Amino acid sequence: MDYKFSRFGQKLSRRGGIVALMDDLGQAMTTHPDMRMMGGGNPAAIPAVQEVWRRRMAELLSNGDEFDRVLVNYDGPAGNPRFLKAVADCIGREAGCTLRAENVAVTNGGQTAFFFLFNLLAGEFADGSRKKILLPLAPEYIGYAEQGIAGDLFVARPALVEETGPHEFKYRVDFDNLEIGDEIAALCVSRPTNPSGNVLTDGEVERLAVLAKAKGIPLIIDNAYGNPFPGAIYTDATPFWDDHVILTLSLSKLGLPGTRTGIVVGAEPVIEAISAANAVVGLANNNVGQAIAGPMLESGELIELCHGTIRPYYRERCERARGLAAEAFGDSTPYRIHVGEGAFFLWFWFPDLPVPSRELYRRLKERDVLVVPGEYFFYGLEEPWKHSEECIRVTFSQPEAVVREGIEIIADEVRRCYAGGG
């Protein structure tokens, strides 16, 4: 049968960057166990953290009534009221603001949260106008790119590139060229930025918030790796919220990606819209993640786990991976790594790389190293940027032996590219 899909169906089924990434990860996990998985954002299996999740599952199992409630009952479309209040109280304490349970909704993972948010705020409007989401700093998260129902949804501004050392650099928001036209429905940033691990300073966040408020539009802050949880930030960064800010969080990077628990914090009209979308698309959300993490948020144990275990673990892994890169590349190969401020990645920049990063990705894949090519993270730009073809994202959350071998192979292949001129 010749199936014909709608415009939305064609867009949704198109093989974009996030689809290719997840296909690669899934196939490698099932059919290619020797592949070095250096591309995805999967959290590490931290033994001390895994023990906490096993303990919490055992506590649920030991409480028959609670266990039955989690498995048998639907929560409301916004989520479990006790969990929503726990999140509101936690964010309120950390950001120094007053939040209520009505300011919080749960979604089926952070990816779903952004699908709802982007398409609620931007796209085609009843009066025939079209609005877009402005990304103030590109590169930006690969998973946003294909989420617009109505065509191209994003406008992006290239980051300022500041060379901070012989083999290091940092992205900054180019405020001088950050024009916000009437067609912009919202600003959106990830903090830490996926893919680079860049952490917008408190001053940058406050300045973006002021600009958004002046235009009467929201500032969306993707906090999937940030504070207060999971806390994978290795520099000073204060959680931020205001009436026009929409903050998203997730349980995934705590080590619970299988629970598919995304969180949206925002003004009540936003939360009501997210709740309605939940009901239409999926009736209700996964209860398990909320049941595991909720009591830990209430007691403060979750934040202690982030500060005392999760953050130090990833910070040490980041420093070790950067050391491995310095050993593997040496001083003769042109390379730079973004300053290690947060998240789980090394973001490599190879100035004047003779081949596009997609070709480097292909060559590395043939050598059993899976990375993510930089081109996928630079959508929405008005003009081509050569820099986008000179970068790759590499995770350091895999076991150390895998990270070491992967970085050594990457360095060798990059040297071959420069030596061969293509």
Question: 271, 299, 327 — which closes off a domain?
Answer: 299
Residues 199, 282, single domain; the answer is yes
Question: Which parts of 122-201 fold into alpha helices (H)?
Answer: none
Mean pLDDT within 99-110: 97
Based on the fold, state whether residues 333 and 252 are members of the same structural domain. Answer: no
Check pLDDT > 80 for residue 11: no
Judge if 337 and 219 occupy the same domain: no
Overall domain count for the chain: 2
H or E stretch covering 316: helix 311-329
Residue 378 has what pLDDT?
A: 97
For position 175, which CATH number holds? Answer: 3.40.640.10
Tens of pLDDT, residues 235-272: 999 999 999 999 999 999 999 999 999 999 999 999 99
Assess if residue 80 is contained within a domain: yes
Same structural domain for residues 185 and 218?
A: yes
Same-domain check for residues 218 and 294: yes
Backbone phi, psi, residue 36, to 5°: -85, 110
Predicted local distance difference test score (pLDDT) of residue 29: 55
Return the bridge partners of 123, or none: 131
Between residues 118 and 5, the one the model is more confident about: 118
In a domain, 256, yes or no: yes
Domain span at residue 318? Answer: 7-48+305-420
In the listed set 244, 279, 299, which residue is the last one of a domain according to the structure?
A: 299
CA angle 380, 125, 217 (to 5 degrees): 65
Does 340 lie in the same domain as 266?
A: no
**What proportion of the chain, given as a percentage, has pLDDT over 70?**
95
Q: Are residues 159 and 280 in the same domain?
A: yes
Same domain, 171 and 192: yes
Q: Would 149 be classed as within a structural domain?
A: yes
In the DSSP assignment, the letter for residue 158 is: E
Distance CA 183, CA 88 (A): 32
For 24-67, write each residue's pLDDT tens digit.
Answer: 655 555 567 789 999 888 899 999 999 999 999 999 999 888 88
Does residue 334 fall inside a structural domain? yes
19 and 127 fall within a common domain: no
Do 362 and 281 have their domain in common? no
> Do residues 133 and 260 share a domain?
yes
Q: Are residues 249 and 170 in the same domain?
A: yes
Among residues 282, 299, 316, the one where a domain terminates is: 299
In a domain, 66, yes or no: no
CATH of the domain at 325: 3.90.1150.10
pTM above 0.85, yes or no: yes
More confident residue, 146 or 335: 335
pLDDT given for residue 267 in this prediction: 97
Find out whether 269 and 261 touch, Cβ atoms under 8 Å.
no
Is residue 114 in a domain? Answer: yes
Q: Over the stretch 361-400, which tens digit does the pLDDT of each residue have?
A: 999 999 999 999 999 999 999 999 999 999 999 999 999 9
Whether 54 is covered by a domain: the verdict is no
Q: Kindly state whether residue 379 falls inside one of the protein's structural domains.
A: yes
